[in-house]
Amino acid sequence: MKAILVEEFKKRPEVKEVAEPKIRGPFDALVRIHASGVCHTDLHAADGDWPVGPTLPFIPGHEGVGIVEEVGELVTNIRPGDRVGIPWLYSACGECGYCLTGWETLCESQQNTGYSINGGFAERALADARYVGKIPEGLEFADVAPHFCAGVTTYKAVKVSGAGPDKTVLISGVGGLGHMALQYARVTGARTIAVDVTEEKLELAKKLGADEVINARAVDVAQAAQKLGGADIIIGTAVSARAFAGAFGALRRGGKMVIVGLPPEALPVPIFDLVLKGISVTGSIVGTRKDLQETLALAARGLVKCNYTRARMEDINDVFDEMRAGKIDGRIVLEIGEQTRASYCQLDKAA
């Protein structure tokens, strides 16, 4: 089968012929992948620039969606023919205190798709059937793929933030994560402020219903936000210390900052303001299986959509280059497999 294979960190990966995965355990599921979103984590994985890197060689991708072809002997929740997605949380131990209290994403024994386990940038991928998400009817593969990471990650962040009709939520960074976080914040009824450094992304934010937008390249974010009354909640997806500082300064007293993005440098937290203003700063990592179910339900109702562009597997290095340059408007979804590509071509001709 064809797969995007990373054989050396910081070296441009290639599409290669590799052996097809086989069912090994009783809870395994073999999935024919039709589409897979590209996440910034995939770039970090390929570059090996996180403290703990993947074991080479490996196949990235943790937004792979497709059709179940085969399942292990103890699988009861899905069957061949079902449409599923394989999220970042490939599996967890199911027995530790985190798993038993609804925080399986903090399990210290977890496996991660496209990082510690081969992922969805391939024509077929293995999944732990207990952790896949079943795709609701009416959602096309390319449409739903980004919800398995960008969606569930930002949904969880908004969920833990306490957003609601009486809150103002500022989204710092309107990229692949931020443009979805904005939609989830709107679902809660919150007033929203979108911040970015490009007019194109701010225009996208306006189309998605942002009440206010701020160009961080043109004005001081903290001052501009405070003129608008300040923010009760910040969802931080922008990956820079400057963006963090501007967003932090936009908070009202008693505000809460939820960080999703992973900047390469240390973030300077003003402890004096943190204490005297009663501000809290917290991290949020993806979501649980329950969070994923809720994310997919919102997508099925059409309340949250991902703005994406399709690309071929062979374009992965161009995608990574655009990602490094911050040029991607929303998300990129890779077409996986000849059948999927043919169907996309037919749709494009019909349009």
Q: What is the pLDDT of residues 123-166, one digit of tens each?
A: 999 999 999 999 999 999 999 999 999 999 999 999 999 999 99
Which H/E stretch holds residue 97? helix 97-100
Structurally, the chain folds into a number of domains equal to: 2
Q: How far is CA 37 from the centre of its chain?
A: 9
Distance, CA of 312 to CA of 332 (rounded, Å): 10
Boundary of a domain, candidates 283, 311, 342: 283
Same domain, 112 and 195: no
| Angle formed at CA 301 by CA 153 and CA 311, multiple of 5 degrees | 60
80 in Cβ contact with 29 (< 8 Å): no
Domain that holds residue 101: 2-149+287-350
Given CA atoms 325, 329, 331, 336 in this order, what sign does their dihedral have?
Answer: negative
Which H/E stretch holds residue 321? helix 316-324
- Residue 311, phi then psi, degrees to nearest 5: -145, 165
- Count CB atoms within 10 A of the CB of residue 143: 17
Same domain, 118 and 16: yes
Beta bridge partners of 258: 235, 282
**Which tens digit of pLDDT belongs to each residue from 192-206?**
999 999 999 999 999
Identify the CA nearest to 301 among candidates 181, 156, 128, 184: 184
Same domain, 275 and 188: yes
Same domain, 117 and 159: no
- Count CB atoms within 10 A of the CB of residue 227: 11
Identify the CA nearest to 118 among candidates 235, 1, 215: 1
Same domain, 44 and 58: yes
Give one DSSP letter per residue of 251-288, joined into a string: EEEEEEEEE-S--SS-----HHHHHHTT-EEEE-----
Same domain, 26 and 41: yes
Same domain, 342 and 276: no
Same domain, 180 and 297: no
Which H/E stretch holds residue 235? strand 231-236
Q: How far is CA 181 from the centre of its chain?
A: 10
Distance, CA of 189 to CA of 74 (rounded, Å): 42
Please list, in sequence order, all residues whose beta carbon lies within 8 angstroms of the beta carbon of residue 51, skipping any fewer than 6 positions away.
none
Same domain, 76 and 143: yes
- pLDDT at position 263 is 77
32 in Cβ contact with 119 (< 8 Å): no
Residue 161, classed as helix, strand or coil, is helix
Same domain, 145 and 8: yes
Boundary of a domain, candidates 283, 318, 339: 283
- pLDDT at position 339 is 53
Q: Which single residue is written with the structure tokens 């911050």? A: 326
Q: Are strands 191-196 and 168-172 parallel, antiparallel or unpaired?
A: parallel
Boundary of a domain, candidates 283, 309, 326: 283
- pLDDT at position 58 is 98
CATH code where residue 314 lies? 3.90.180.10
CATH code where residue 185 lies? 3.40.50.720
Please list, in sequence order, all residues whose beta carbon lies within 8 angstroms of the beta carbon of residue 111, skipping any fewer than 6 positions away.
90, 91, 92, 117, 128
Characterize 298-327 residue by residue with b for buried, 16 or more Cβ atoms within 10 angstroms of its Cβ, and e for exposed.
bbbeeebbbbbebbebebbeebbebbeeee
- Which amino acid is residue 42, in one-letter code? D
Q: Enumerate residue ranges in the chain where pLDDT < 50.
A: 341-351
Same domain, 214 and 265: yes
Same domain, 106 and 65: yes
